[in-house]
């Protein structure tokens, strides 16, 4: 008899073979009680086969190595075990896709054997699906069931489980249907697996699905089939392939079954965990800490004045709803702090109903909302205004610390930090790439252990040896905690360690401090997470100074919104009356907008008072809004110019050009060059999400920027169009604008054609011109291009190439000149009409709506005139910087910053778009800030990706607009 044990991250599987025949199998969750569950399972095997005193035993699985090593039991790596079982039972398989609790794997079996596994992120695994189902208040099985009824899907972040929660929360707050959200979750899992693990290798042939999620969730298998264009197979015993492979492994060792069962039952890990110093040495130290923070309080049992004057603030956050009512002195008379359960509307209705009941003579003179659900709450209940989170929190912080110079807010899924300079928000730090260790993680973990958050936090206050967990992916930190439990860590030590990890994540991942003194001298901490004394103590110890924690730290968004409403009150409010609340209704309908080519999928919320809130729009057409500055958008003007270089026919053949990366600027050059030579020119279609999906199976790196990833879809589209050749050259250098120390393209822009050729196998059947070209060498260019074209087409006289090149250079200069002229025109209009100006700077590819997410339109719709960095950089002479200024696009950015700093118009400010994956942009931002210091102008950096955390973008932009005085 041979036994295979698969000890996974969340489950335990056992398979027993009698020679080559499986005679027993069992599957259960181990809840980190691996030794106890495994020994119980082996006892049941012994009971099932009473005559079998000895058996071969082999262990596999991501959590089984320590157990195997300490007890001397053979261990086989899970990938090898999977391959062993697949070769035996499904020899025709080409690719295996296996999803586990925290692991995701793709095994390529045909051709060269290769395996891809998730490394630093556990997005898109079974634990990810469990988290999403919990947020929807359903089981994973119910999630699968309702996903089959979906009519549409939304874009949801899959790389980070907590950001996915943010996306889900926003959709729920907007009224999206759970059926559609469930299908979107499963689609996100597929996209994360394919884009993150395939890494450029084609998933084709006979596909086998293994692991719990793919076994129990047929809709997930269907999503894989749809996106991959295959019909995969989920075999019988798909849950047990690792255990089967372990049992079939040739190196299993025979043991006395009862004796090894007892050894496993009595097993305790020989490893020890890393620990830190205790948060509090004794209770006296804790009491002094508590007394100090009691001083930062505001009355929460205030009374209304005789005329009943009150102001209401509502913070509809990512996981909770906070609401307060304050009196004319700014003291709180009523408050509410509740989980929003995916829909804040009924909670706010209940709060207002209770408020009217408890205070019959109340006279609300102002009401404001903030947070994720700001807009829907404002529209639903007739609130007077909305206020961006940064301003709400700053307003509240000043109440407790008038000299505040730094605010840090750790919420359920967000970390927001604001640096204050001269009484205004000078810089914003947000968790834009990862959300490990926020409040929702602490809450989820406390719940998993059966504790209320407050009780869980108290366990860590006097723990002697807090676990040193660092700061990692939220799902992987679960594994670290489980391992610490196995190594003997107490609940208190784990609680304290998690509090420390939250602080380290905020300081070293979000704010990226190198010196705690740089934070400031008057620091205010906010957010529900800081109500945890352990988190607060860990923060003070880490930065080496005391901070201010308001007594209402968890209500600061709502408190700030109420104070804001008080400051901006007109003397009366449009908030719903008690009678209107009684007849309040909320209806939700999903429609597709046909106002433009975007065809946005809208969620229309209709309320009894006739108000409507529309979500999902990428422009203001469905809202029927009009901004006087909407037509002063240089992005739109650039797109109009590029549209003028339309498809052309030619006798020498047709050239296909992918519209991506640097082609957004160089297309006028190449279009002119090829048409003058007698070629036709066609381009790939406008980017959209479906175009990205078409090419994601050939993307070799998940960390490359989204603009580069999109090129894979553009190449697929061009191949379908069947031009005579596809042209996308490698270009180490850009044209020299004499603004920097050199004029390189970034490595991705310069050499991505090499990546495309190496990873898109279908290109072998097409003529792909990706030779190295140097437009900066104007004299050499004709000779070089003559030689290049001769490799792909009948020889073209160099004289013709020289004439075409001259026309192309002239057209490029004309194109750039028109942009600069239009930029001057827009600046003059803004000055004449006293309008704010935003110089939206980035790269040429940020012109792509799929990449910029409509940020340019949002800026103009809020009343600003928008120009670009290349429209003003020519007005600045080369100047020294403190960095090696060798990139053309960065040199333009520095020149634009210099232009802003030297401008005498205080309404001109700078916003930089940054794509994730560009490693030099942190340095770039520091240099831009140093250039702008003398000009005292506003600068913000907005990071964008395929699934941007649009909540973070919204916070940055609205904070900028508030600073510019643009209002709502």
Average pLDDT estimate for 767-771: 95
Q: What is the mean pLDDT of residues 517-536?
A: 85
- CA 431 vs CA 435, 781, 907, 942, 948: distances in Å: 6, 45, 28, 12, 12
CA distance 545 to 327: 34
Do 837 and 867 lie in a common domain? yes
Phi–psi pair at 917, nearest 5 degrees: 105, -10
pLDDT of 473 > 80? The answer is no
Terminal Cα distance for the chain, rounded: 73
> Mean pLDDT over all residues of the chain?
84
Asked whether residue 628 is domain-assigned, the answer is: no
Of the candidate ranges 53-57, 452-456, 752-756, 880-884, the one whose mean pLDDT is the lowest:
452-456
Q: Which of 11-25, 291-305, 482-496 has the lowest mean pLDDT?
A: 482-496
Query: Helix (H) and strand (E) counts for the chain?
Result: 34, 29
Count of structural domains within the chain: 7
Contact 841, 925 (CB under 8 A): no
What are the two backbone dihedrals, phi and then psi, of residue 39, each rounded to the nearest 5 degrees? -65, -40
- 116 pLDDT band, cuts 50/70/90, is confident
Domain assignment of residue 630, yes or no: no
Tens digit of each residue's pLDDT (9 = 90 or more) over 719-752 = 999 999 999 999 999 999 999 999 999 888 999 9
Q: Do 901 and 958 have their domain in common? A: yes
Clarify whether residues 473 and 364 are in a common domain. Answer: no
Determine the Cα–Cα distance for residues 431 and 570; give it in Å rounded to an integer: 36
Of 206, 234, 262, which one is at a domain's C-terminal end?
234
pLDDT of 948 > 60? The answer is no
| Domain assignment present for 598 | yes
Q: Tell me whether residue 297 is in a domain.
A: no
Average pLDDT score over residue span 294-303: 86
Residue at token pair 């499904």: 90
Give the confidence band of 160 by pLDDT, cuts at 50, 70, 90: low
Q: What is the predicted pLDDT for the residue at 208?
A: 93
594-639 pLDDT, tens digit per residue, is 666 656 667 777 887 677 777 666 566 655 566 667 789 999 999 9
Q: What are 332-335's contacts with CB under 8 Å, separation 24+?
A: 332/298, 332/299, 332/300, 332/301, 332/302, 332/552, 332/555, 332/559, 333/301, 333/302, 333/303, 333/304, 333/359, 334/358, 334/359, 335/300, 335/552, 335/555, 335/558
- CATH number of domain containing 355: 3.30.420.40
Per-residue model confidence (pLDDT) at position 968? 45
For residue 554, tell me if it sits in a domain.
no
3-state SS class at 541: helix
Residue 473 lies inside a defined structural domain of this protein: yes
| CA dihedral angle for residue 357, residue 358, residue 361, residue 363, rounded to 10 degrees | -90
Judge if 576 and 601 occupy the same domain: no
Decide if 331 is inside a domain.
yes
Of 251, 270, 289, the residue at which a domain comes to its end is 270
Q: Are residues 44 and 107 in the same domain?
A: no
Residue 435 pLDDT greater than 70, yes or no: no
Do 493 and 530 belong together in one domain? yes
CA–CA dist 910, 928 (Å, integer): 9
| Inter-axis angle of helices 888-902 and 921-932, nearest 10 | 20
Q: Higher confidence at residue 703 or residue 296?
A: 296
Residue 877 belongs to some domain of the structure: yes
CA distance 60 to 73: 10
**Is the same domain home to 342 and 450?**
no
Q: Is there a single domain that holds both residue 640 and residue 568?
A: no
Residue 300: both structure tokens together = 């929460």
Report percent pLDDT > 90 for the chain.
38
CB neighbour list of residue 142: distance below 8 Å, 6 or more residues apart: 133
Query: At 315, which helix (H) or strand (E)?
Result: strand 309-316
93/233 Cα distance (integer angstroms): 9
Residues 846 and 946 in one domain: yes
Residue 591 β-bridge partners:
602
CA distance linking residue 296 with residue 14, whole number of Å:
57
Do 191 and 263 share a domain, yes or no?
no
Structure tokens at 78: 């899970």
Q: Are residues 590 and 488 in the same domain?
A: no
Q: Above 90 in pLDDT, residue 389?
A: no
Task: Name the helix (H) or strand (E) containing 170.
Answer: helix 161-173
Which residues constitute the domain of residue 612?
585-622
Shared-domain flag, residues 948 and 825: yes
């Amino acid at each position: 008899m041979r036994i295979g044990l698969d000890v996974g991250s969340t489950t335990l599987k056992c398979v027993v073979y009698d020679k080559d025949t499986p005679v027993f199998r069992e599957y259960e969750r181990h809840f980190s009680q691996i030794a106890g569950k495994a020994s119980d399972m082996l006892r049941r095997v012994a009971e099932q086969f009473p005559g079998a005193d000895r058996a071969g035993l082999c262990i596999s699985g991501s959590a089984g190595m320590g157990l195997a090593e300490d007890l001397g039991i053979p261990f086989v790596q899970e990938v090898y075990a999977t391959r062993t079982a697949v070769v035996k039972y499904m020899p025709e398989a080409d690719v295996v896709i296996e999803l586990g609790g925290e692991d995701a794997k793709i095994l390529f079996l045909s051709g060269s054997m290769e395996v891809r596994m998730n490394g630093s992120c556990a997005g898109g695994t079974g634990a990810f699906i469990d988290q999403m189902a919990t947020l929807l208040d359903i089981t994973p099985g119910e999630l699968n069931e309702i996903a089959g009824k979906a009519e549409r899907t939304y874009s949801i972040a899959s790389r980070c489980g907590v950001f996915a929660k943010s996306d889900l929360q926003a959709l729920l707050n907007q009224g999206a249907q759970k059926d559609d959200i469930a299908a979107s979750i499963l689609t996100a899992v597929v996209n994360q697996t394919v884009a993150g693990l395939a890494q450029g290798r084609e998933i084709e042939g006979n596909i086998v699905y293994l692991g719990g999620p793919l076994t129990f969730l047929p809709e997930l298998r269907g999503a894989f089939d749809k996106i991959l264009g295959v019909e995969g197979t989920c075999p019988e015993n798909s849950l047990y392939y690792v255990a089967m492979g372990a049992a079939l492994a040739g190196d299993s060792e025979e043991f006395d079954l009862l004796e090894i069962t007892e050894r496993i039952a009595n097993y305790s890990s020989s490893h020890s965990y890393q620990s830190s110093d205790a948060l509090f040495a004794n209770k006296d130290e804790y009491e002094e800490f508590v007394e100090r923070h009691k001083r930062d309080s505001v009355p929460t049992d205030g009374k209304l004045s005789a005329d009943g004057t009150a102001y209401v603030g509502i913070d509809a956050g990512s996981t909770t709803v906070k609401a307060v009512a304050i009196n004319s002195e700014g003291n709180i008379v009523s408050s509410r702090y509740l989980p929003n359960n995916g829909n804040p509307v009924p909670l706010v209705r209940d709060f207002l109903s209770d408020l009217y009941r408890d205070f019959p003579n109340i006279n609300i003179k102002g009401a404001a909302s903030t947070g994720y659900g700001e807009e829907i709450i404002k529209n639903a209940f007739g609130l007077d205004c909305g206020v961006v989170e940064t301003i709400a929190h700053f307003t509240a912080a000043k109440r407790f610390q008038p000299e505040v110079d730094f605010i840090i807010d750790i919420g359920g899924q967000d970390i927001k930090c604001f640096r204050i300079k001269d009484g205004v928000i000078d810089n914003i730090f947000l968790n834009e790439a990862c959300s490990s260790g926020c409040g929702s993680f602490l809450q989820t973990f406390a719940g998993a252990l059966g504790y209320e958050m407050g009780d869980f936090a108290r366990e860590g206050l006097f723990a002697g040896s807090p676990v040193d967990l660092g700061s990692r992916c939220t799902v992987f930190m679960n594994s670290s905690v489980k391992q610490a439990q196995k190594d003997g860590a107490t609940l208190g030590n784990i609680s304290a360690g998690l509090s420390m990890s939250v602080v380290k994540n905020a300081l070293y991942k979000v704010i990226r401090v190198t010196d705690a003194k740089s934070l400031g001298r008057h620091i205010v901490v906010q957010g529900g997470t800081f109500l945890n004394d352990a988190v607060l103590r860990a923060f003070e110890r880490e930065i080496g100074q005391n901070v201010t924690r308001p007594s209402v730290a968890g209500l600061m968004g709502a408190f700030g919104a109420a104070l804001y409403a008080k400051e901006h009150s007109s003397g009366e409010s449009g908030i719903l009356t008690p009678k209107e609340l009684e007849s309040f209704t909320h209806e939700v309908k999903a429609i597709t907008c046909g106002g433009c080519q975007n065809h946005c999928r809208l969620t229309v919320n209709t309320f009894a008072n006739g108000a409507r809130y529309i979500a999902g729009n990428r422009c203001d057409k469905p809202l029927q809004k009009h901004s006087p500055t909407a037509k002063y958008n240089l992005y739109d003007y650039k797109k109009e110019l590029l549209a003028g270089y339309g498809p052309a026919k030619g006798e020498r053949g047709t050239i296909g050009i992918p519209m991506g990366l640097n082609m957004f600027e160089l297309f006028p050059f190449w279009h002119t060059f090829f048409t003058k030579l007698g070629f036709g020119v066609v381009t790939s279609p406008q980017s959209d999400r479906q175009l990205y999906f078409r090419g994601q199976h050939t993307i070799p790196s998940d960390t490359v920027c989204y603009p580069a990833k999109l090129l894979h879809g553009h190449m697929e589209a061009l191949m379908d169009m069947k031009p005579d050749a596809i042209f996308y050259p490698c270009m180490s250098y850009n044209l020299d604008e004499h603004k920097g120390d050199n004029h390189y393209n970034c490595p991705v822009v310069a050499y991505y054609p090499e990546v495309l050729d190496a990873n898109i196998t279908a290109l072998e059947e097409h003529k792909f011109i990706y030779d190295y070209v140097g437009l900066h060498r104007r004299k050499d260019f004709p000779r070089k291009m003559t030689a290049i074209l001769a490799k792909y087409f009948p020889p073209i006289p160099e004289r013709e190439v020289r004439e075409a090149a001259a026309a192309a250079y002239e057209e490029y200069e004309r194109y750039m000149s028109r942009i600069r002229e239009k930029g001057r025109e827009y600046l003059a209009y803004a000055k004449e009409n006293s309008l704010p100006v935003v110089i939206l700077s980035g790269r040429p590819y940020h012109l792509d709506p799929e990449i910029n997410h409509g940020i340019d339109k949002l800026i103009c719709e809020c009343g600003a005139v928008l120009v670009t960095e290349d429209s003003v950089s020519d007005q600045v002479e080369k100047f020294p910087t403190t960095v090696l200024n060798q990139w053309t696009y960065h040199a333009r950015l520095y020149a634009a910053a210099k232009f802003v700093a030297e401008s005498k118009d205080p309404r001109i400010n700078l916003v930089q778009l940054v794509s994730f994956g560009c490693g030099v942009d942190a340095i770039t931002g520091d240099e831009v800030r140093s250039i702008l210091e003398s000009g005292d102008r506003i600068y913000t950096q907005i990071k964008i990706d395929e699934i941007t955390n649009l909540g973070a973008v919204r916070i940055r932009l609205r904070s900028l607009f508030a600073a510019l005085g643009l209002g709502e």
